[in-house]
Chains A and B, each alone.
Chain A
């Protein structure tokens, strides 16, 4: 007997605030967390990004990223009846690079915990989690894919509850790589806009709590994980497919058990590179979703890598609960091959279902359908 799976609580730690409420309020005010920052290396262009100058210190032995994870996970559990010692609870960590800044240290120490399993083991010990956490590291779809993986574990009865925590640092390592790719925007990024010129990187943690039993968890809300699917373009390791067919494959799986006309809005990946946004527009058009209101949150947060999928799911859940589709910040003029209905303003309307997508290096794509219970 398969169990339904619900997301029942969440937490965001970002430059926009140390709670989901503060993040949501900043988004409603159209505030961007992206600013001009120290490039960390000799750069011939101004670098914009979102970086946390201060963060909550839970444990003095923890790294910055570990403290961010610990804080966000504790805050997520705090308001529910699920304890970290629950033996039916499992943690799923989504990250691309973990404590990558430790790799640049002149004398690297074991306490830098550069390897992802070492970081995750530390988090497990600190929180007193019974099960060894699962680490999903699948480029920019990690967050969405970790939610899929956790939901499947619950649905198939392996566990009853899951924490999915996604996070990555704003690091010289990653920043320089996207700089070398000439993929960084000269200002605050403009997803799906005609004049978009690349991405901003950001750092954040997003955490969600999943369960098969919202009542037992004393849930604050319940949004069902109704569909999921991932795919690979099998085309190119660093460029998205030209025609969007790979992303369309993931979305088709995610919408298997719903009617596509029920989708109230799409929260796209929308990195604001020419190729990504173009690819997405073609995918949504061929799926017959070209008229569905669509947004990208990258101009608020930048691309937060392992956090992005989780963080964007949380903002999308707020949208569902408040019947408010978030304005796609930075968008002015259509500039993609496929026709998509990018949200130019905040839209107040009755919505119950969202399609969330992500795509990343390695040609991977991922999609989720979430529905208000």
Chain B
């Protein structure tokens, strides 16, 4: 198999959004997570009203994919079913799970919200990204205690070897109790430079850069 190349990578943490080593946006320290994510949305200049219905994790994943996919330009040569998405995090959907659980504790006014409940699954952020970018290929959501570059690289390589995809978005997306962190890669076959080779070592190095 020819080499896999990291075409783009992006991370968003509580301080900044960075794509391919260039800062795209910097957050004000005093702002809340909601404010930060909304500013990020505004800065992207895309009209996508559904953004405001999403939970924080989906907003984060949506914004990360917005950078990564360059407004859909990266998909020019491939069909929707050839695009895969493999995501991971530690806490699944715990941020929204806790909010939903709060609404259940009120026995007097028992009104669980379907629009909150739907976000109580890890892979809903994946669904939002797929809708936005027409990704109809392989999906997987893996939970791990720590960022697991080896699992992501192993599984993604297999998807390419099996010809189950021609491009893959992969990485980590997590929002929890007002803090957030995402790091995503867009990988495809092709010529690569050492620092853009799709390897465990490169993923771990870039992950280190995204750590505060």
The residues of A with any CB-CB pair to B shorter than 8 Å are: 41-42, 96-98, 100, 103-104, 114-118, 120-121, 132, 134-139, 141, 145, 149, 152-153, 156, 158, 172-173, 176-177, 179-181, 229-238, 246, 249, 253, 361-364
> Could you tell me how many residues of chain B have their Cβ less than 8 Å away from some Cβ of chain A?
51
| Complex contacts, B105 vs chain A, CB 8 Å | 104
A121, B90: Cα distance in complex, Å: 13
The residues of B with any CB-CB pair to A shorter than 8 Å are: 80-81, 85, 90-92, 94, 97-98, 100-101, 104-105, 107, 110-114, 117-118, 120-124, 126-128, 130-131, 133-145, 151, 154-155, 158, 161-162, 164
A152 touches B162 (CB 8 A): yes
A180 touches B92 (CB 8 A): no
Interface of B is mostly: mixed
Interface of A is mostly: mixed
Contacting A237 at CB < 8 Å: which of B104, B128, B151, B164? B128
A235, B121: Cα distance in complex, Å: 17
A231 touches B138 (CB 8 A): yes
B142 touches A135 (CB 8 A): yes
B140 touches A235 (CB 8 A): no
B138 touches A229 (CB 8 A): yes
Contacting B127 at CB < 8 Å: which of A118, A158, A364? A364
A195, B105: Cα distance in complex, Å: 34
| Complex contacts, A141 vs chain B, CB 8 Å | 139
Given contacts A104-B105, A249-B81, A362-B124, is CB(A121)–CB(B145) below 8 Å? yes
B136 touches A249 (CB 8 A): yes
Given contacts A180-B112, A181-B117, is CB(A103)–CB(B138) below 8 Å? no
Q: Report the minimum CB–CB distance from A85 to chain B (whole Å).
A: 21
B155 touches A173 (CB 8 A): no
Q: Report the minimum CB–CB distance from B137 to chain A (whole Å).
A: 6
A134, B107: Cα distance in complex, Å: 37
